[in-house]
Amino acid sequence: MENNKSFLWPEGILIALLALGGVFSLAFMMLLRPNASEAQSRQGIDIKDVTANVGTQQRIEKLKAAMLTSWQQEAQTKGLSYALPSRFQGAVIEAAKLTQGEKVIALTFDDGPWPDTTEQVLDILKSNNIKGTFFVVGQNLKNFPEIGKKIVTEGHVIANHTWHHWYHFFNQQAAAYEIDRTTDLIYQITGAKTNLFRPPGGMLHNGLSAYAKGQKYAVIMWSADSTDYKLPPVPKLIDNVIKDSKPGGIVLMHDGGGNRSRTVQALPEIISNFRKQGYRFVTIPELLEMEDADKKLLANKKQ
């Protein structure tokens, strides 16, 4: 009997201890549950925050895309994408050959956009109600996109002057990079599609012009060189432009790539001098359209 009691007693204690352990375990789990719920809650908040941030970023990207599309559409309605007359596609042009005797001249500016001087040139042109043609360097346009936009919004023509403004020889792949990348960026930033190209330094035999002609660009040279890149005295700069200019001519000046303060100083006097001679100012596309119209008129008269 004593042996039976001694055997049964530990079993009861064991059962009691197990039951008590279960109670403590349940209580411990209940204590932990709020922390787990809190962690889940925090995780839920983090997920919501991430989702919200992603959604905001997507909305921003959509807005930027919509603004770019709107800008490009507006640019196109302003005539910034134009069809180059077929006779000039792949041609090298130094001046327009006009048969009607119109005294017109095209002012062109290379190597921008450039801080200060490009905007100073734009202000002078605006105050004189003149539209010019700007041959931009791609990497400069990338660095100063707002100035590039201003060129277009103020009604000027923007054109291609390569990405780096290098002079060495280019194989076809390198030439494509220099020209196509610049044309693409012009369109991305301004909405304007250009088919006008000017080789740096006027070099026609280093691979760039050959590629441009193959892509049906008009390769635009010049008939009057200001030589402003040599930093001549302002009176000499003015004389360089005026003495070599004729009706249908193309004037070369620079708004970027270095110190162009003398160009800015000379420009008002150049404009005044041309106007005293009875000239009016046109863009390169307008000049080419005039020559094309003249030749069509002459051809019709011969029929």
Quote the tokens at residue 105: 């001249």
Q: Give the pLDDT confidence of 174-191 residue by residue, as tens digits.
A: 999 999 999 999 999 999
Nearest Cα residue to 211 out of 246, 242, 182, 188? 182
Least-confidence region, from 9-23, 194-208, 223-237:
9-23
Residue range of the domain that includes 31: 1-77
pLDDT bin (cut points 50, 70, 90) of residue 200 is very high
Indicate if 110 belongs to the active site. Answer: yes
Domain boundary among 20, 48, 77: 77
Using only C-alpha atoms, what is the Rg of the chain?
36
Residue 76 has pLDDT above 90, yes or no: no
Residue 149 has pLDDT above 80, yes or no: yes
Domain boundary among 21, 44, 77: 77
To the nearest 10°, the Cα dihedral for 234, 239, 241, 245? 170
Q: State the catalytic residue, choosing from 156, 161, 165, 254.
A: 254
Judge if 40 and 117 occupy the same domain: no
Judge if 185 and 48 occupy the same domain: no
Judge if 64 and 102 occupy the same domain: no
The structural domain count of the chain equals: 2
Judge if 178 and 48 occupy the same domain: no
Q: Nearest 5 degrees, angle CA 196-CA 197-CA 201? A: 150
Q: Give the pLDDT confidence of 10-62 residue by residue, as tens digits.
A: 344 333 333 434 434 444 444 344 444 444 444 444 445 545 555 666 775 66
Domain boundary among 49, 77, 105: 77
Q: State the catalytic residue, choosing from 110, 111, 228, 255.
A: 110
Quote the tokens at residue 118: 């490009």
In one-letter notation, the amino acid at residue 66 is: A
CB 102 within 8 A of CB 290: yes
CB 33 within 8 A of CB 152: no
pLDDT bin (cut points 50, 70, 90) of residue 148 is very high
Least-confidence region, from 82-91, 260-269, 293-302:
293-302
What average pLDDT score do residues 231-243 get? Answer: 98
In one-letter notation, the amino acid at residue 68 is: L
DSSP state of 86: G
CA distance 183 to 287: 21
Pairing, β 133-136 against β 104-112:
parallel
Judge if 227 and 194 occupy the same domain: yes
Judge if 115 and 207 occupy the same domain: yes
CA distance 105 to 282: 6
Least-confidence region, from 44-48, 134-138, 140-144, 261-265:
44-48
Judge if 10 and 128 occupy the same domain: no
The residue that leads in pLDDT, 1 or 118, is 118
Q: Does the reported pTM lie above 0.85? A: no
Judge if 134 and 192 occupy the same domain: yes
β-sheet bridge partners, residue 136: 112, 160
User: Residues 40-69, buried b or exposed e (16+ Cβ, 10 A)?
Assistant: eeeeeeeeeeeeeeeeeeeeeeeeeeeeee
Instruction: Work out the burial of residue 235: count CB atoms within 10 Å of its CB; fewer than 13 is exposed, 13-18 middle, 19 or more buried.
Output: exposed
